[in-house]
Structure 1
Amino acid sequence: MTDITGLHNTWTVKDILPTGYWLHNETLGKLFLPTKNVDTELQSGDKIEAIATHDENNNPVADTRIPESGLNALYLLTAKDAIKTGAFFTWAMTRDLYVPKKWQESPINPGMKYLVYVFVDPQSQKIVGATKLHKFYPETSEWLKVDQDVTLTVFAKTDLGYKVLIDDTALGLLFHSDVSVSLRIGQEVPGVIKNRREDGKLDVGLKGQTRENRNDLQSAILDDLAAHGGLSTLTDKSSPDDIFKRFGVSKGAYKKAIGNLYKNKKIAISKDSITLQKGN
C-alpha cells in the first residue's frame, strides 16, 4: 500500500469496526480509516474523499483531512516541536507533519513560522515536509529577466540577506543592504530582478528601489496624496514599517522619491506632513 501514499481518491465504506472503517476502491483495493481521521460518523456504502498516509505505527491508513493544495506544494506552517532527528508541524492532516533534519534549511525552532514544501519522501514513502527549497526549485530561470517585476516570498534569513522564492518558480537572494524593513518568513512583497550572476543565480530588490521603478513610486505617492485631499502624514521621519505597509518599498526609496518630488516642486514637505502643491 505504500506505493499509493499521498494519493487522493474516492473510497467506499465497506465494513464498520469500533476503531474505524474499512474502505474500498476498485483500483487500489482496501485501506483502513481510523475513527480519529474522520469528522463524521459513516455508514456502509458511503462514498468519501480520503488521502492515503501512515499512522504512528507505520501502518497504511486513510485520512479524510486533506491538505487544501494537496502535496508537492508550499504551506506556511508553525513549528510545534523539535527533536534530534527532525521537527513537527501542525497542519491540515490528522498527524503532525514531520520535517526530517536532512530536509531542514536551518534548525527549526518551535513556535516559529516556516515555509514548508510537502511531498512524499522517495526513500521512506511517507508524507514529509522540507524547508530546503533549493531541492525543489531551481536557483535560476531563463524566463526571469533583469528589471522584471516579480513577487517575492521570503523563506529564510541569512547573514547576507533574505532567501526568496521568485514568482513561485525560482529562488533568489535579497541582500540586507537592499532592505530597510524587517521581513517575515512567508511574507510576499513586490520585487524586481536586479542581477543575474555568472552562475545564473538571481539577485533581487524590493520594487521601488531601482532607477526604473522610481518614477512609478513617485506617481504612486502623488496619487495617494490626491486621494487623501492633498495631505499625508507619511514623511521621511515615519517608521520603515509604516512606509512599507503603504507603498511596499524601503524607507530609503521613499525618502529619495519624495526628495525628487520636492525638487520638482510637486510637493511641500514639513516636519509632520507632506502636501501636494497646487497645479499637480
Structure 2
Amino acid sequence: MIRVANYNRLSIARATDNGLYLTDGEGNEVLLPNRYVPEKYAIGDPMEVFVYTDSEDRQVATTERPKIIEGEIAALQAVGFNYHGTFLDWGLPKDLFVPKRNQQAPMLVGEWYVVTLYVDRVTGRAVGTSKLNKIINNDEITVRPKEEVDILVAVRKPKGYRVVINDRHWGMLYDNQIFTEVKLGMRMKAYVRKIADDHRIDVSLQQEGFDQVKIAADEILKMLDEADGVLPVGDKSSPDEVRLLTGMSKKIFKRAVGFLMSRGVVESGDLSVKRIATEK
C-alpha cells in the first residue's frame, strides 16, 4: 500500500522517459519524476520517498522533505488563495490547500497558521485544517512548572510568540525570555515557567535556578575554547552586547561567570572574560 502524505519505503520497478516507477511490492506503483532520480540506481534498489498528489490528482513521489506529514502539527505560511480556500507553503512544488470550511478564522496571505494535515477520503488529497480545538487546548494541563517541553513557534504577538507545547497546549514565550534566534515555524526545547489558575502557560528557553547557571557556564567554556580563551564581554558590557555574543541574559551570564570564577577557571574584567585554567 502506498500512503499519500507519508513517507514510503518503496523499490525501483522500472525506468521510463518521465522518471522511475517505484513499487510497494503489492502491485501499486508511483512515479518519481526525473528531477528526483538519483545519478546511480539499479532496478530493485530501495528508496524512501514522500508521496502526494499533483495538480491533476495523480500520486507522485519526491525525495524532498515537506514541513508536515499526515497527523503532524506545523506552523505554515499562507502564500495564495482562491474562492474555495487558502494555499500554504509546506515545502513542496504543489502548495497545501486549506478549504474555507477548515479554517478556524479566515486566512490571510503572508500570515502564519498552525495546522494539521489529513488525507481526504473522497479525493485522496492531502488537506490542511486549522480547526484544532480537539487537539490543542488547555482544558487538562499535562505539563508541570520547570518541565522540559517541545514547542512549536506559531504566532507573533506584541510581547512575544504564541507557541504550541508538546503538540497539545497553547503557551506564550515572552520576548524577555528569548536570548537566541527564534523564527515562526521553528521547533525548540523550552521549559515551563508558570501555569496560571486559568491554565495559561508561560515558557522560557532557559532553565531556572542552578541548573540554568551550570548549563550557561558550560556554554561559556565552549565559547572560550572557540575564541582562544577570551570573550570580549564583561561586567560593564551592555545587556544587548552580552545577549548578541552569548545568547544569554546578562543576569544569567554574570551568575555563570561567577560560578566559573569560584572554581578558579576564569577571571572577569570590565569588558572581557578570560580562561585561566581547565575546569576543576
TM-score by length of 1: 0.62
1:64 Cα offset (Å): 1.4
Counterpart residue number, 1:63: 60
**Contact 1:91–1:97 at 8 Å: present in 2 too?**
no
**How many residues of Structure 1 are paired with residues of Structure 2 in the alignment?**
267
Gaps of 5+ in 1: none
- 1:223-265 Cα distance to aligned partner (Å, 9 max, x none): 347635653113463574873673x534554356557878999
Aligned AA (1:63): V
**Contact 2:20–2:33 at 8 Å: present in 1 too?**
yes
SS of 2:154's partner is strand
State the alpha-carbon separation in 2 of the partners of residues 12 and 182 from structure 1. 42
SS of 1:184's partner is coil
CA RMSD of aligned residues (A): 5.3
1:193 Cα offset (Å): 1.0
State, as a whole percentage, how many aligned pairs show the same letter. 17
Q: 1:276 to 1:203 in 2, by over 3 A?
A: same
Counterpart residue number, 2:184: 185
Counterpart residue number, 2:194: 195
Gaps of 5+ in 2: none
Equivalent positions of 1:130-149 (< 5 A) are 130=129, 136-139=135-138, 144-149=143-148
**Contact 1:103–1:131 at 8 Å: present in 2 too?**
yes
Counterpart residue number, 1:205: 204
Counterpart residue number, 1:216: 214
1:149 Cα offset (Å): 2.8
Q: 1:211 to 1:99 in 2, by over 3 A?
A: same
State the alpha-carbon separation in 2 of the partners of residues 234 and 188 from structure 1. 30
1:113 Cα offset (Å): 7.1
Counterpart residue number, 2:89: 89
Aligned AA (1:86): T
Counterpart residue number, 1:159: 158
Counterpart residue number, 2:72: 73
State the alpha-carbon separation in 2 of the partners of residues 12 and 181 from structure 1. 44
SS of 1:64's partner is strand
Q: 1:206 to 1:130 in 2, by over 3 A?
A: same
**Contact 1:97–1:129 at 8 Å: present in 2 too?**
yes
